[in-house]
């Protein structure tokens, strides 16, 4: 039972691109997630940062077995889930949960809150039916939703409360790992703060592990001990949060931090660098960030940088990283 709770190894997810027509099948493959590896320890929160289209949502859905990967392993508690048939996967489902970005989308508008929160129990046949309601009530209380919610439809609640209901649903199976897919990005700042606080409290109380997916570095730094940065499906940097913030190694990470409002970033000034020249990578070969990178070298164009360790718990995939030792 030792080892990390979740181990993602060389995960690759490719989609057939939407080229229709019977004659042109399978022409364009789009690689949404490209040889990504990372691990999450028990009780740990790992942040996954990326812009829209970076493949972070696809990655999160693959972790909870909603998308089948093209290659690679997803080990949960030592077992490779991608190799399991649906029946053998069942015992793992309750231990692995997901909270989606938009609670308006993720809660069936035609269900009552009770039906929503107890649905996983019904589907996974967990516990006595008679105890479901009590269990739902207990969790709703824990996430801060009042008791009279049970019989009401989700539209009677504000966005923040709906997200709490979604979190209660994720908690109802007593999971060990929850994938949080941008759980705060549709919310107002004050509501966002409340959800972040709630997630932090729940993690402490239940010893949960999180994969916290977000484009918001501030929110990630609030919850995550380690951060993975995804750019066009490639994991370009993985580091403890504090180290990454203080001394980003990958030029893309540096650009992200540099784009943060100074109020969030703090005093440390990171100059917003523009690329000196535009160097487009050879498709499938070079570094995906080469075209935008201010530190681009000639070999970035033709040679995909391998990920390598650069100090305690840090990895970067770059030919010319920034000095992170300082």
Partner 1 sequence: MSEAAPRRWGFLPLLRWGEFGRRWRPEPLVAAGLAMFLALAAFAWLGPLFYTASPYAIHAHRLFLPPSLRHPLGTDDLGRSFLARMMYGGQPSLGVAIVGSVVAMLIGLGYGMTSGLSPPRLDKALMRLLDAILALPTLVLMIFFAAIVPLGPLSLILLLGLVSWPGLARIVRNEVLAYKERDYVLAARQYGAGTGYLARRHLLRAMFPIVVVNATFTVADLILTLAGLSFLGLGIQPPTPSWGGLLGNGSNLAITGSWWLILFPGVAILLAILSLNLVGQGLLNRLEGR
Partner 2 sequence: MSGAPLVAVEDLRVTARRAGRTYPIVEDVSFKIEAGGLLALVGESGCGKSLTAAALLGLLPWGLAVDGGQIRLEGQNVLELTPTQWRRLRGRKVGAVFQNPLAALNPSLPIWKQVVESAELTFRLDRAAARARALELLELVGVPQAAQRLDDYPHQFSGGMRQRVAIALALACDPRLLVADEPTTALDLITQAEILRLLNRLRLERGLAVLFITHDLSLVAEYADQVMVMYAGRVVEQAEARRFFAGPRHPYSRALLGAIPRLATPEVRLTDIEGLPPSPFEYPPGCRFAPRCPRVIEPCRRELPPPAGDQRQRAFCHRPFAQEPG
Q: Which is nearer to partner 1, 153 or 258 (CB)?
A: 153
Distance CA 21, CA 166 (A): 39
Which residues 7-66 are close enough to bind partner 1 by CB under 8 A?
A: 57, 61, 64-66
Told to check if 186 binds partner 1 by CB under 8 A, we report: yes
Binding status of residue 191 toward partner 1 by CB under 8 A: no
Residue 317 near residue 236, CB atoms below 8 Å:
yes
C-alpha–C-alpha distance, residues 213 and 59, integer Å: 9
Positions in 150-179 near partner 1 (CB under 8 A) = 169, 173
Report the partner that residue 119 touches, choosing among partner 1, partner 2, none (CB closer than 5 to 8 A by kind): partner 1
Task: Determine contact, residues 255/273, Cβ cutoff 8 Å.
Answer: yes
Tell me which residues in 56-95 interact with partner 2 (CB under 8 A).
none
282 binding partner (options partner 2, partner 1, none; Cβ < 5 to 8 Å by kind): none
Q: Which is nearer to partner 2, 43 or 258 (CB)?
A: 258
Residue given tokens 């609030």 in the structure block: 222
CA-CA distance, 317 to 238, in Å (whole number)?
9
Distance in angstroms (rounded) separating the CA atoms of residues 296 and 290: 6
Find which of partner 2, partner 1, none residue 48 binds, CB within 5 to 8 Å per kind.
Answer: none
Minimum CB–partner distance for residue 196 and partner 2 (Å): 6
102: contact with partner 1 by CB under 8 A:
yes
Does 183 bind partner 1 (CB under 8 A)? Our answer is no
- The β-bridge relationship of strands 79-80 and 71-76 is antiparallel
User: For strand 177-181 and strand 96-99, is the pairing parallel, antiparallel, or unpaired?
Assistant: parallel
Residue (64 or 249) nearer to partner 1, CB: 64
**According to CB under 8 A, which residues from 79 to 98 bind partner 1?**
86, 89-90, 93-94, 97-98
Q: Which of partner 1, partner 2, none sits in contact with 107, Cβ below 5 to 8 A by type?
A: partner 1
Interface mask (CB under 8 A) for partner 2, residues 192-231, using x and -? xxx-xx-----------------x-xxx-xx---------
CA dist 103 to 156, 169, 239, Å?
13, 11, 30
Q: Binding segment for partner 2 among 6-14, 39-47, 128-136, 182-190 (CB under 8 A)?
A: 182-190
User: Residue 106 interacts with partner 1 (CB under 8 A)?
Assistant: yes
What's phi and psi for 54, nearest 5 deg?
Answer: -85, -10
What's the 3-state SS for 198-251?
A: HHHHHHHHHCCEEEEEECCHHHHHHHCCEEEEEECCEEEEEEEHHHHHHCCCCH
In the complex with partner 2, the residue whose CB is nearer, 27 or 262, is 262
Place of tokens 């040889």: 35
Q: Which residues bind partner 2 (CB under 8 A)?
A: 51-52, 158, 188-194, 196-197, 215, 217-219, 221-222, 241, 245, 255-266, 272
């Amino acid at each position: 039972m030792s080892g990390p709770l979740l181990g993602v190894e060389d995960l690759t997810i490719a989609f057939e691109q939407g080229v229709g027509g019977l004659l042109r099948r399978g022409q364009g493959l789009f690689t949404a997630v490209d040889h990504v590896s990372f691990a999450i320890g028990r009780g740990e929160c790992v942040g996954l940062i990326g812009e829209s289209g970076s493949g972070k949502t696809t990655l999160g859905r693959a972790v909870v077995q909603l998308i089948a990967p093209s290659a690679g392993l997803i080990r949960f508690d030592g077992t490779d889930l991608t190799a399991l048939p649906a029946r053998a996967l069942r015992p793992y489902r309750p231990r692995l949960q997901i909270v989606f970005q938009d609670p308006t989308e993720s809660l069936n508008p035609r269900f009552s809150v009770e039906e929503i929160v107890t649905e996983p129990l019904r589907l996974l046949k967990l516990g006595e039916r008679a105890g479901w309601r009590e269990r739902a009530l207990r969790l709703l209380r824990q996430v801060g939703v009042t008791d009279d919610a049970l019989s009401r439809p989700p539209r009677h609640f504000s966005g923040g409360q709906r997200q709490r209901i979604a979190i209660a649903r994720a908690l109802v199976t007593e999971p060990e790992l929850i994938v949080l897919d941008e759980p705060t990005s549709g919310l107002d700042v004050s509501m966002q703060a409340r959800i972040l606080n709630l997630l932090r409290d729940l993690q402490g109380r239940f010893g949960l592990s999180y994969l916290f997916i977000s484009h918001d570095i501030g929110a990630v730094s609030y919850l995550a001990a380690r951060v993975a940065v995804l750019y066009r499906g490639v994991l370009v940097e993985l580091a403890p949060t504090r180290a990454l913030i203080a001394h980003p190694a990958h030029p893309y990470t540096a650009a992200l931090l540099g784009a943060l409002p100074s109020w969030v970033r703090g005093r440390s000034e990171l100059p917003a660098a523009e690329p000196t020249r535009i160097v487009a990578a050879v498709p499938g070969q070079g570094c995906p960030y080469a075209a935008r990178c201010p530190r681009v070298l000639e070999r970035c164009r033709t040679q995909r940088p391998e990920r390598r360790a650069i100090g305690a718990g840090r990895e970067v995939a770059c030919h010319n990283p920034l000095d992170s030792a300082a």
